[in-house]
Structure 1
Amino acid sequence: MKFSSIFFPKIIADFKSDINKNIQVVQKRGRKVIYVDGAEQTGGTITGMWQKALSNVKSSRLSGIPQAAGQMSNVQNALVLGLGGGDIIRLLHRVDSQIKVTAVDIDPVMIKIARDLFGIRNSSNLKIHNHDALYYLLLNREKFSLIVVDLFIGYKNPQKFRSPRFLNLLQKSRQKNGLILFNSHYHSDFNNEFEEFHNLCTQIFSTVEIIINYPYSKILLLK
Protein backbone atom coordinates (compact mmCIF):
# COMPACT_ATOMS: atom_id res chain seq x y z
CA MET A 1 0.00 0.00 0.00
CA LYS A 2 1.46 3.36 -0.99
CA PHE A 3 2.02 6.06 1.64
CA SER A 4 0.07 8.57 -0.49
CA SER A 5 -3.09 6.40 -0.56
CA ILE A 6 -3.22 6.45 3.24
CA PHE A 7 -3.01 10.21 3.72
CA PHE A 8 -4.20 11.71 0.43
CA PRO A 9 -7.51 10.68 -1.21
CA LYS A 10 -7.07 9.42 -4.75
CA ILE A 11 -9.85 9.06 -7.32
CA ILE A 12 -9.82 5.49 -8.64
CA ALA A 13 -12.73 5.75 -11.05
CA ASP A 14 -15.55 8.03 -12.22
CA PHE A 15 -18.91 6.76 -13.45
CA LYS A 16 -22.01 8.32 -14.98
CA SER A 17 -25.37 6.81 -14.10
CA ASP A 18 -28.94 7.54 -15.15
CA ILE A 19 -29.98 6.82 -11.57
CA ASN A 20 -27.21 8.15 -9.32
CA LYS A 21 -25.78 10.67 -11.82
CA ASN A 22 -22.13 11.18 -10.75
CA ILE A 23 -20.40 8.33 -8.92
CA GLN A 24 -16.79 8.43 -7.74
CA VAL A 25 -14.73 5.68 -6.16
CA VAL A 26 -11.95 7.14 -4.04
CA GLN A 27 -9.03 5.49 -2.28
CA LYS A 28 -9.06 7.11 1.16
CA ARG A 29 -6.92 6.06 4.12
CA GLY A 30 -6.29 2.73 2.49
CA ARG A 31 -9.97 1.99 1.79
CA LYS A 32 -12.26 2.38 -1.18
CA VAL A 33 -15.08 4.86 -0.62
CA ILE A 34 -18.04 5.49 -2.96
CA TYR A 35 -19.39 9.03 -3.34
CA VAL A 36 -22.63 9.90 -5.14
CA ASP A 37 -22.80 13.61 -6.00
CA GLY A 38 -20.46 14.25 -3.07
CA ALA A 39 -22.38 12.12 -0.56
CA GLU A 40 -20.52 9.18 0.98
CA GLN A 41 -22.35 5.93 0.19
CA THR A 42 -19.95 3.10 1.01
CA GLY A 43 -16.76 2.86 3.03
CA GLY A 44 -15.33 5.28 5.58
CA THR A 45 -17.85 6.47 8.16
CA ILE A 46 -20.66 4.52 6.45
CA THR A 47 -18.94 1.20 7.14
CA GLY A 48 -18.48 2.19 10.77
CA MET A 49 -22.10 3.25 11.07
CA TRP A 50 -23.45 -0.10 9.85
CA GLN A 51 -20.90 -2.02 11.89
CA LYS A 52 -22.14 -0.23 15.00
CA ALA A 53 -25.81 -0.80 14.09
CA LEU A 54 -25.37 -4.54 13.56
CA SER A 55 -23.22 -4.80 16.67
CA ASN A 56 -25.95 -3.10 18.73
CA VAL A 57 -28.48 -5.67 17.54
CA LYS A 58 -26.09 -8.58 17.98
CA SER A 59 -25.17 -7.65 21.56
CA SER A 60 -28.74 -6.57 22.44
CA ARG A 61 -27.67 -3.08 23.51
CA LEU A 62 -31.19 -1.92 22.70
CA SER A 63 -33.32 -0.43 25.44
CA GLY A 64 -36.80 -1.86 25.71
CA ILE A 65 -36.41 -4.53 23.03
CA PRO A 66 -35.63 -7.78 24.84
CA GLN A 67 -36.79 -9.69 21.74
CA ALA A 68 -33.74 -8.32 19.91
CA ALA A 69 -31.30 -10.03 22.27
CA GLY A 70 -29.04 -12.25 20.23
CA GLN A 71 -31.23 -11.68 17.18
CA MET A 72 -28.29 -11.50 14.77
CA SER A 73 -27.29 -15.06 15.64
CA ASN A 74 -30.75 -16.19 14.51
CA VAL A 75 -30.66 -14.49 11.11
CA GLN A 76 -31.00 -17.14 8.41
CA ASN A 77 -31.99 -14.92 5.52
CA ALA A 78 -31.65 -11.18 4.98
CA LEU A 79 -32.95 -8.69 2.44
CA VAL A 80 -30.71 -5.71 1.69
CA LEU A 81 -32.40 -2.89 -0.20
CA GLY A 82 -29.67 -0.67 -1.62
CA LEU A 83 -26.42 -2.39 -2.56
CA GLY A 84 -23.83 0.37 -2.77
CA GLY A 85 -20.40 -1.20 -2.54
CA GLY A 86 -21.68 -4.07 -0.41
CA ASP A 87 -20.76 -2.86 3.10
CA ILE A 88 -23.83 -4.42 4.69
CA ILE A 89 -23.37 -7.75 2.91
CA ARG A 90 -19.74 -8.02 4.02
CA LEU A 91 -20.69 -7.21 7.61
CA LEU A 92 -23.55 -9.73 7.64
CA HIS A 93 -21.32 -12.47 6.29
CA ARG A 94 -18.71 -11.57 8.88
CA VAL A 95 -21.34 -12.40 11.52
CA ASP A 96 -22.28 -15.63 9.72
CA SER A 97 -21.01 -16.61 6.28
CA GLN A 98 -24.03 -18.88 5.81
CA ILE A 99 -26.68 -16.13 5.95
CA LYS A 100 -28.66 -16.17 2.71
CA VAL A 101 -28.65 -12.57 1.48
CA THR A 102 -30.87 -11.11 -1.22
CA ALA A 103 -29.70 -7.68 -2.39
CA VAL A 104 -31.72 -5.29 -4.54
CA ASP A 105 -30.47 -2.20 -6.35
CA ILE A 106 -32.08 -0.23 -9.16
CA ASP A 107 -28.78 1.05 -10.58
CA PRO A 108 -26.90 -1.35 -12.89
CA VAL A 109 -23.85 0.93 -12.69
CA MET A 110 -23.71 0.53 -8.90
CA ILE A 111 -24.07 -3.25 -9.23
CA LYS A 112 -21.13 -3.24 -11.68
CA ILE A 113 -19.03 -1.12 -9.30
CA ALA A 114 -19.79 -3.47 -6.41
CA ARG A 115 -18.78 -6.46 -8.54
CA ASP A 116 -15.68 -5.07 -10.24
CA LEU A 117 -14.18 -2.90 -7.49
CA PHE A 118 -15.51 -4.47 -4.27
CA GLY A 119 -15.79 -8.15 -5.22
CA ILE A 120 -19.54 -8.33 -4.48
CA ARG A 121 -21.11 -10.82 -6.88
CA ASN A 122 -23.73 -13.57 -6.98
CA SER A 123 -22.86 -16.70 -5.04
CA SER A 124 -24.58 -19.53 -3.19
CA ASN A 125 -25.29 -17.14 -0.29
CA LEU A 126 -25.87 -13.92 -2.23
CA LYS A 127 -28.39 -13.13 -4.95
CA ILE A 128 -28.30 -9.63 -6.47
CA HIS A 129 -31.35 -8.28 -8.29
CA ASN A 130 -31.38 -5.21 -10.53
CA HIS A 131 -34.84 -3.91 -9.58
CA ASP A 132 -36.54 -0.95 -8.00
CA ALA A 133 -36.97 -1.81 -4.30
CA LEU A 134 -40.67 -0.95 -4.25
CA TYR A 135 -41.33 -3.06 -7.34
CA TYR A 136 -39.36 -5.94 -5.81
CA LEU A 137 -41.41 -5.89 -2.60
CA LEU A 138 -44.66 -5.81 -4.56
CA LEU A 139 -43.68 -9.11 -6.20
CA ASN A 140 -41.90 -10.64 -3.22
CA ARG A 141 -43.43 -13.62 -1.40
CA GLU A 142 -40.47 -14.53 0.82
CA LYS A 143 -40.33 -13.64 4.52
CA PHE A 144 -37.01 -12.39 5.91
CA SER A 145 -35.60 -12.50 9.42
CA LEU A 146 -33.69 -9.26 8.75
CA ILE A 147 -34.42 -6.46 6.29
CA VAL A 148 -31.93 -3.61 5.84
CA VAL A 149 -33.11 -0.48 4.03
CA ASP A 150 -30.29 1.74 2.76
CA LEU A 151 -31.94 3.51 -0.17
CA PHE A 152 -30.38 6.83 -1.06
CA ILE A 153 -29.98 9.08 -4.05
CA GLY A 154 -27.24 11.45 -2.92
CA TYR A 155 -28.05 12.62 0.59
CA LYS A 156 -31.72 11.61 0.72
CA ASN A 157 -34.11 8.68 0.65
CA PRO A 158 -36.44 8.99 -2.35
CA GLN A 159 -39.86 9.96 -1.03
CA LYS A 160 -41.59 6.77 -2.20
CA PHE A 161 -39.42 4.81 0.26
CA ARG A 162 -40.77 6.92 3.14
CA SER A 163 -44.40 6.28 2.24
CA PRO A 164 -47.06 4.19 4.06
CA ARG A 165 -47.23 1.89 1.04
CA PHE A 166 -43.52 1.03 1.20
CA LEU A 167 -43.46 0.65 4.98
CA ASN A 168 -46.45 -1.70 4.87
CA LEU A 169 -44.69 -3.80 2.24
CA LEU A 170 -41.65 -4.02 4.52
CA GLN A 171 -43.90 -5.15 7.35
CA LYS A 172 -45.42 -7.88 5.19
CA SER A 173 -41.97 -9.08 4.08
CA ARG A 174 -40.50 -9.67 7.54
CA GLN A 175 -40.84 -12.86 9.53
CA LYS A 176 -42.92 -12.81 12.72
CA ASN A 177 -39.92 -12.00 14.91
CA GLY A 178 -37.88 -10.38 12.16
CA LEU A 179 -36.20 -7.00 12.40
CA ILE A 180 -35.98 -4.09 9.99
CA LEU A 181 -33.11 -1.58 10.03
CA PHE A 182 -34.03 1.58 8.13
CA ASN A 183 -31.37 4.19 7.34
CA SER A 184 -33.27 7.48 7.24
CA HIS A 185 -31.76 10.70 5.98
CA TYR A 186 -31.61 13.52 8.51
CA HIS A 187 -30.63 17.16 8.71
CA SER A 188 -30.90 19.27 11.85
CA ASP A 189 -32.34 22.17 9.82
CA PHE A 190 -35.25 19.94 8.79
CA ASN A 191 -35.91 18.05 11.99
CA ASN A 192 -39.68 18.19 11.41
CA GLU A 193 -39.25 16.09 8.27
CA PHE A 194 -37.64 13.32 10.29
CA GLU A 195 -40.24 13.60 13.05
CA GLU A 196 -43.01 13.14 10.48
CA PHE A 197 -41.34 10.00 9.15
CA HIS A 198 -40.74 8.69 12.66
CA ASN A 199 -44.42 9.25 13.52
CA LEU A 200 -45.47 7.45 10.34
CA CYS A 201 -43.35 4.45 11.35
CA THR A 202 -45.07 4.30 14.75
CA GLN A 203 -48.43 3.96 12.98
CA ILE A 204 -47.25 0.81 11.17
CA PHE A 205 -44.76 -0.84 13.54
CA SER A 206 -45.22 -1.65 17.23
CA THR A 207 -41.53 -0.99 17.93
CA VAL A 208 -39.67 2.02 16.54
CA GLU A 209 -36.30 2.84 18.06
CA ILE A 210 -33.48 5.09 16.89
CA ILE A 211 -30.37 2.96 17.35
CA ILE A 212 -27.84 5.12 15.45
CA ASN A 213 -27.54 8.92 15.38
CA TYR A 214 -25.25 10.39 12.73
CA PRO A 215 -25.17 14.01 11.52
CA TYR A 216 -26.95 13.21 8.24
CA SER A 217 -28.73 9.94 8.97
CA LYS A 218 -30.46 7.99 11.70
CA ILE A 219 -30.93 4.23 11.69
CA LEU A 220 -34.30 3.07 12.96
CA LEU A 221 -35.03 -0.41 14.27
CA LEU A 222 -38.57 -1.38 13.26
CA LYS A 223 -40.46 -4.41 14.52
Structure 2
Amino acid sequence: MAVRPAPRFVDEAEATAGVFKALRAGEKLTTTPFAEAHGVELVDVTYDPITYTREPASAEDARRLGVERGTRLLRRRWVQCVIDRETGKVIPKEIHASAIVHKLVAGTAFVKPELQPVAGGTGAELWALGYTGLREARTERIGRPPNGTERNYLQMETVDWVWDTVRTYVDEDGTAIEVSRTIAPMASTVLRSRIDLS
Protein backbone atom coordinates (compact mmCIF):
# COMPACT_ATOMS: atom_id res chain seq x y z
CA MET A 1 0.00 0.00 0.00
CA ALA A 2 1.24 3.52 -0.82
CA VAL A 3 2.24 5.80 2.03
CA ARG A 4 0.85 9.32 2.03
CA PRO A 5 3.78 11.77 2.03
CA ALA A 6 4.22 14.52 4.59
CA PRO A 7 2.71 17.88 3.57
CA ARG A 8 4.90 20.36 1.72
CA PHE A 9 4.18 24.07 1.79
CA VAL A 10 4.59 25.83 -1.54
CA ASP A 11 4.49 29.48 -2.55
CA GLU A 12 4.88 29.06 -6.30
CA ALA A 13 4.76 32.77 -7.12
CA GLU A 14 7.56 33.53 -4.67
CA ALA A 15 9.68 30.59 -5.87
CA THR A 16 9.31 31.44 -9.57
CA ALA A 17 9.90 35.15 -9.04
CA GLY A 18 12.92 34.31 -6.88
CA VAL A 19 14.61 32.45 -9.73
CA PHE A 20 14.29 35.42 -12.07
CA LYS A 21 15.34 37.89 -9.40
CA ALA A 22 18.52 35.86 -8.89
CA LEU A 23 19.13 35.59 -12.63
CA ARG A 24 18.75 39.35 -13.11
CA ALA A 25 21.23 39.90 -10.27
CA GLY A 26 23.74 37.58 -11.93
CA GLU A 27 23.70 35.15 -9.03
CA LYS A 28 24.82 31.54 -9.44
CA LEU A 29 21.84 29.25 -8.97
CA THR A 30 22.36 26.04 -7.00
CA THR A 31 18.81 24.75 -6.52
CA THR A 32 15.34 24.67 -8.10
CA PRO A 33 11.87 25.54 -6.81
CA PHE A 34 11.11 21.78 -6.81
CA ALA A 35 14.15 20.93 -4.66
CA GLU A 36 13.37 23.74 -2.24
CA ALA A 37 9.72 22.71 -1.95
CA HIS A 38 10.79 19.17 -1.05
CA GLY A 39 13.58 20.27 1.28
CA VAL A 40 16.39 18.53 -0.63
CA GLU A 41 19.63 19.44 -2.40
CA LEU A 42 19.69 19.49 -6.21
CA VAL A 43 21.94 16.39 -6.21
CA ASP A 44 19.05 14.52 -4.57
CA VAL A 45 16.71 15.22 -7.51
CA THR A 46 16.42 12.83 -10.43
CA TYR A 47 14.04 12.05 -13.31
CA ASP A 48 12.72 8.55 -13.89
CA PRO A 49 11.53 7.99 -16.53
CA ILE A 50 12.48 10.91 -18.79
CA THR A 51 11.76 11.24 -22.52
CA TYR A 52 12.38 13.97 -25.09
CA THR A 53 10.54 13.74 -28.42
CA ARG A 54 9.81 15.92 -31.43
CA GLU A 55 6.08 15.95 -32.07
CA PRO A 56 3.55 18.00 -34.04
CA ALA A 57 1.57 20.54 -32.03
CA SER A 58 -1.87 19.36 -30.99
CA ALA A 59 -4.89 21.68 -31.06
CA GLU A 60 -4.31 22.50 -27.37
CA ASP A 61 -0.58 23.15 -27.97
CA ALA A 62 -1.44 25.43 -30.89
CA ARG A 63 -3.94 27.38 -28.79
CA ARG A 64 -1.61 27.81 -25.82
CA LEU A 65 1.56 28.57 -27.80
CA GLY A 66 -0.08 30.59 -30.56
CA VAL A 67 1.35 28.40 -33.34
CA GLU A 68 -0.11 26.48 -36.24
CA ARG A 69 -1.40 23.01 -35.46
CA GLY A 70 1.28 20.53 -36.58
CA THR A 71 4.20 22.87 -35.81
CA ARG A 72 7.16 20.75 -34.70
CA LEU A 73 7.58 20.91 -30.92
CA LEU A 74 10.12 19.58 -28.48
CA ARG A 75 8.08 17.71 -25.89
CA ARG A 76 9.76 16.75 -22.62
CA ARG A 77 8.16 14.29 -20.19
CA TRP A 78 9.48 13.05 -16.88
CA VAL A 79 8.62 11.88 -13.41
CA GLN A 80 10.50 14.13 -11.00
CA CYS A 81 11.83 12.19 -8.03
CA VAL A 82 13.72 12.69 -4.80
CA ILE A 83 16.50 10.30 -3.79
CA ASP A 84 16.33 9.32 -0.12
CA ARG A 85 19.92 9.64 1.15
CA GLU A 86 19.47 7.04 3.88
CA THR A 87 17.94 4.28 1.80
CA GLY A 88 18.94 5.28 -1.74
CA LYS A 89 15.29 4.81 -2.71
CA VAL A 90 13.98 6.94 -5.59
CA ILE A 91 10.66 8.49 -4.54
CA PRO A 92 8.40 9.90 -7.29
CA LYS A 93 6.89 13.30 -6.47
CA GLU A 94 5.55 14.95 -9.64
CA ILE A 95 4.85 14.24 -13.29
CA HIS A 96 5.96 16.91 -15.76
CA ALA A 97 5.37 17.49 -19.45
CA SER A 98 6.40 20.56 -21.42
CA ALA A 99 6.29 21.80 -24.99
CA ILE A 100 8.28 24.46 -26.85
CA VAL A 101 8.70 25.14 -30.57
CA HIS A 102 11.62 22.92 -31.60
CA LYS A 103 13.37 25.47 -33.81
CA LEU A 104 13.74 27.75 -30.75
CA VAL A 105 15.84 25.16 -28.92
CA ALA A 106 17.49 23.04 -31.64
CA GLY A 107 21.20 22.63 -30.98
CA THR A 108 21.02 24.00 -27.42
CA ALA A 109 21.38 22.46 -23.97
CA PHE A 110 17.57 22.58 -23.72
CA VAL A 111 17.35 19.43 -25.86
CA LYS A 112 19.79 17.34 -23.79
CA PRO A 113 18.09 15.21 -21.11
CA GLU A 114 21.46 14.14 -19.70
CA LEU A 115 21.95 17.69 -18.39
CA GLN A 116 18.90 17.52 -16.15
CA PRO A 117 18.26 18.67 -13.50
CA VAL A 118 19.29 22.24 -14.30
CA ALA A 119 19.79 24.68 -11.42
CA GLY A 120 16.95 27.18 -11.58
CA GLY A 121 14.72 24.81 -13.54
CA THR A 122 12.84 25.80 -16.69
CA GLY A 123 13.08 29.51 -15.91
CA ALA A 124 16.87 29.35 -15.94
CA GLU A 125 16.85 27.27 -19.13
CA LEU A 126 14.72 29.87 -20.90
CA TRP A 127 16.96 32.64 -19.60
CA ALA A 128 20.00 30.83 -21.04
CA LEU A 129 18.22 30.71 -24.41
CA GLY A 130 18.08 34.51 -24.36
CA TYR A 131 14.59 35.00 -22.94
CA THR A 132 15.76 37.49 -20.33
CA GLY A 133 12.70 39.71 -20.64
CA LEU A 134 10.00 37.16 -19.88
CA ARG A 135 6.93 39.08 -18.74
CA GLU A 136 4.89 36.55 -16.83
CA ALA A 137 4.23 32.93 -15.94
CA ARG A 138 0.51 32.25 -16.34
CA THR A 139 -0.78 29.43 -14.18
CA GLU A 140 -4.01 27.43 -14.39
CA ARG A 141 -4.81 24.67 -11.88
CA ILE A 142 -7.57 22.15 -11.32
CA GLY A 143 -8.00 19.35 -8.82
CA ARG A 144 -9.08 15.97 -10.20
CA PRO A 145 -8.76 12.22 -9.68
CA PRO A 146 -5.57 10.82 -11.25
CA ASN A 147 -5.78 8.41 -14.15
CA GLY A 148 -4.31 4.94 -13.75
CA THR A 149 -0.92 5.83 -15.21
CA GLU A 150 -0.57 8.88 -12.97
CA ARG A 151 -1.59 6.92 -9.88
CA ASN A 152 0.94 4.22 -10.75
CA TYR A 153 3.81 6.65 -11.40
CA LEU A 154 3.14 8.60 -8.20
CA GLN A 155 2.38 5.52 -6.07
CA MET A 156 -0.82 7.13 -4.81
CA GLU A 157 -3.65 5.95 -2.63
CA THR A 158 -6.81 5.16 -4.58
CA VAL A 159 -8.81 7.91 -2.90
CA ASP A 160 -6.27 10.72 -3.38
CA TRP A 161 -6.59 13.44 -6.02
CA VAL A 162 -3.98 15.42 -7.92
CA TRP A 163 -3.33 19.04 -8.74
CA ASP A 164 -3.16 19.41 -12.54
CA THR A 165 -1.24 22.63 -13.17
CA VAL A 166 -0.50 24.25 -16.53
CA ARG A 167 2.07 27.07 -16.63
CA THR A 168 2.83 29.20 -19.68
CA TYR A 169 5.92 31.43 -19.85
CA VAL A 170 5.17 34.58 -21.83
CA ASP A 171 7.79 36.86 -23.42
CA GLU A 172 7.84 40.65 -23.17
CA ASP A 173 5.98 40.99 -26.49
CA GLY A 174 3.16 38.71 -25.31
CA THR A 175 4.40 35.62 -27.17
CA ALA A 176 3.92 32.32 -25.35
CA ILE A 177 7.34 30.61 -25.27
CA GLU A 178 6.91 27.39 -23.32
CA VAL A 179 3.96 25.58 -21.78
CA SER A 180 4.26 22.93 -19.11
CA ARG A 181 1.95 20.66 -17.14
CA THR A 182 2.66 19.34 -13.65
CA ILE A 183 0.69 16.57 -11.94
CA ALA A 184 1.27 16.36 -8.18
CA PRO A 185 -0.57 14.67 -5.31
CA MET A 186 -3.06 17.10 -3.83
CA ALA A 187 -2.98 15.62 -0.34
CA SER A 188 0.68 16.43 0.20
CA THR A 189 0.63 19.99 -1.20
CA VAL A 190 -0.43 23.06 0.73
CA LEU A 191 -0.46 26.06 -1.57
CA ARG A 192 0.48 29.36 0.00
CA SER A 193 0.37 32.91 -1.32
CA ARG A 194 0.62 36.42 0.04
CA ILE A 195 -1.43 39.33 -1.17
CA ASP A 196 -0.03 42.82 -0.67
CA LEU A 197 -2.92 44.96 0.50
CA SER A 198 -0.87 48.13 1.04
TM-score, with normalisation over the residues of structure 1? Answer: 0.25
Q: Kindly indicate whether structure 1 or structure 2 has the higher relative contact order, using CA contacts under 8 Å at least 6 residues apart.
A: 2
